[in-house]
């Protein structure tokens, strides 16, 4: 039985990031469908993953319909291609009416465009970059990093 | 008029050649260095090396001054983003995307981007030609949605002898002109159709076949 607090999440792209997200959500008891063009990509999921796997091209409308995207609480688009993420994210939101769409951006310079088109984004490069820089600055304030 | 064309291959070459031939200033954005060199050598166009969906590349290519952007790469998602970046960020007044997957035409429209699907155009034209062999499709416009067709009424036509007001065409179709023994007539409701009249009809896709069937008679279909 699906419980009220359980989410139905569709994850597009089963690369390292998509597989990680799908796995963690599935293990936390949420309903997950992960889509990838290549069946071999599903090998990245852990044996405990209990959601659905759908082999297909998420830029095709029929594929998203098959994944029941219209019923999803959240769609996470996490392929390695920013433009595919932008397109699939917008289709999920505008055509399937999904309220929460989170799109991965690989190129930090493109985050602004995602934002202008109304998509929530996660940019791994920026997160890691911020972490490194902030870590260094904090360390510098503590006197552990010295300028030349 | 400045036109920015993003893409490669023969399509971009011939498209740019025909645009420059008509006096448009063309800038091409292409990702491949060797192809950029070739295009720059053969065409009277500015060529910019880079990813056309990258806003900095589009800006460098003069997107702020562009009157139109044509996105004709082989990847539909790239074409969508190119047009969206051009219209959202640079406020280019006219953008047009090529779609390889015909289903994307509707999707792009819902996202505010005009799209053309050569696949759909060709298959639609082929179907119409196979169905009505003695009928000439003259032109289509509005992304293939408005068709202008020329046909001849023969003795099997059920509308010969009737005035236009009584031939029972659907609302969204129009007999725009009649050629009678070489003489052109702009018809009105009272104009009676004769055998061997050549007529020009304007139709929309939903009723196109019905209209033609109504005019030439069912046996031709």
Number of domains chain A is built from = 1
Q: What pLDDT is attached to residue B48?
A: 97
* Average pLDDT of span B122-141: 72
pLDDT of residue B221: 47
Task: Answer yes or no: is A3 within a domain.
Answer: no
| The pLDDT value given to residue B217 | 79
Closest CA to A72 of A50, A93, A46, A49: A93
CATH architecture of B2-116: 3-Layer(aba) Sandwich (3.40)
State the pLDDT confidence band at B218, using cuts at 50, 70 and 90. Answer: low
> What contacts B98, CB < 8 A, 6 or more positions away?
B7, B11, B70, B71, B72, B73, B76, B79, B115, B116, B117, B118
Q: Do B80 and A86 touch (CB under 8 A)?
A: yes
Residue A12 in domain: yes
Question: A113 and B101: CB-CB below 8 Å?
Answer: no
Q: What is the pLDDT of residue A37?
A: 96
Q: Encode pLDDT of A36-83 as tens digits.
A: 999 999 999 999 999 999 999 999 999 999 999 999 999 999 999 999
CB neighbours of residue A120 within 10 Å: 13
What residues of B are in contact with residue A59 (Cβ under 8 Å)? 76-77, 101, 104
Task: Estimate the crossing angle of helix A82-90 against helix B76-88, to 10 degrees.
Answer: 80
- All residues of chain A having their beta carbon less than 8 Å from the beta carbon of residue B75 are 83
Nearest of A134, A100, A80, A115 to residue A10 by alpha carbon: A100
- State the best of B7, B79, B86, B107 to mutate against chain A, taking most chain A CBs within 10 Å: B107
- Checking if the pLDDT of A4 tops 60, the result is no
Alpha helices in A47-103 (DSSP H): 61-66, 82-90
Is A2 a domain residue?
Answer: no
pLDDT digits (tens, 9 = 90+) for B183-192: 999 999 899 9
CATH number of B121-220: 3.30.70.1450
The CATH number covering residue A43 comes to 3.40.50.720
Report the run of H or E that residue B129 belongs to, with start and end: helix B118-131
Rounded to the nearest integer, the mean pLDDT of chain A is 90
Mean pLDDT of B24-45: 96
In chain A, residues with a C-beta closer than 8 Å to the C-beta of B54 are: 107, 109-110
Q: How many CB atoms lie within 10 A of CB B178?
A: 20
pLDDT by residue (tens digit) across A82-93?
999 999 999 999
In a domain? residue A24: yes
In 3D space, the residue among A137, A91, A54, A120 whose CA is nearest the CA of residue B81 turns out to be: A91
C-alpha B52/C-alpha A112 separation (Å) is 16
For the cut 90, the answer to whether the pLDDT of residue B3 exceeds it is yes
Confidence of residue B29 (pLDDT cuts 50, 70, 90): very high
Residue A146 lies in a domain: no
pLDDT classification of B123: cutoffs 50, 70, 90:
confident
| Domain assignment of residue A69, given as a range | 8-141
Of B55, B76, B88, the CB nearest to A59: B76
- 3-state class (DSSP) for residue B215: helix
Mean pLDDT of all residues in B28-54: 96
Q: Which residues pair with A8 in a beta bridge?
A: A31
Domain boundaries, chain B: 2-116, 121-220
State yes or no: pLDDT of A2 exceeds 60: no
């Amino acid at each position: 039985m699906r419980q009220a607090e359980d989410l139905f999440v569709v994850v597009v792209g089963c690369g390292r990031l998509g597989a990680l997200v799908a796995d963690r959500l599935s293990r936390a008891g949420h309903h997950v469908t992960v889509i990838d063009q290549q069946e071999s990509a599903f090998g990245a999921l852990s044996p405990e993953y209990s959601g659905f796997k759908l082999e297909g091209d998420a830029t095709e409308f029929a594929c998203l319909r098959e994944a029941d995207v219209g019923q999803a609480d959240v769609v996470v688009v996490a392929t390695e291609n920013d433009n595919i993420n932008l397109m699939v994210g917008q289709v999920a939101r505008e055509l399937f009416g999904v309220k929460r769409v989170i799109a991965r951006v690989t190129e930090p310079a493109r985050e602004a465009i995602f934002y202008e088109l109304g998509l929530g984004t996660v940019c791994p490069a920026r997160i890691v970059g911020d972490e490194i820089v902030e870590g260094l600055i904090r360390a510098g304030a503590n006197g552990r990093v010295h300028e030349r | 008029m400045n036109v920015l064309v993003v893409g490669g291959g023969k399509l971009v070459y011939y498209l740019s050649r025909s645009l420059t031939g008509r006096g448009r200033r063309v800038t091409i954005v292409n990702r491949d260095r060797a192809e950029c060199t070739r295009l720059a050598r053969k065409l009277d166009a500015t060529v910019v090396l880079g990813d056309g969906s990258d806003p900095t590349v589009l800006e460098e290519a003069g997107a702020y001054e562009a009157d139109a952007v044509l996105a004709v790469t082989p990847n539909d998602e790239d074409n969508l983003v190119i047009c969206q970046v051009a219209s959202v960020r640079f406020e280019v007044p006219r953008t047009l995307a090529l779609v390889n997957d015909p289903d994307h035409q509707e999707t792009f429209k819902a996202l505010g981007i005009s799209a053309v699907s050569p696949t759909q155009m060709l298959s639609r034209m082929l179907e119409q030609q196979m169905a009505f062999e003695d009928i000439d499709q003259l032109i289509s416009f509005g992304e293939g949605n408005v068709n202008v067709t020329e046909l001849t009424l023969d003795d099997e036509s059920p509308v010969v002898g009737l005035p236009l007001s009584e031939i029972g065409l659907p609302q969204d179709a129009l007999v725009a002109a009649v050629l009678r023994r070489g003489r052109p007539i702009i018809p009105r409701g009272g104009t009676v159709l004769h055998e061997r009249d050549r007529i020009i009809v304007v139709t929309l896709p939903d009723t196109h076949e019905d209209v033609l069937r109504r005019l030439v008679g069912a046996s031709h279909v």
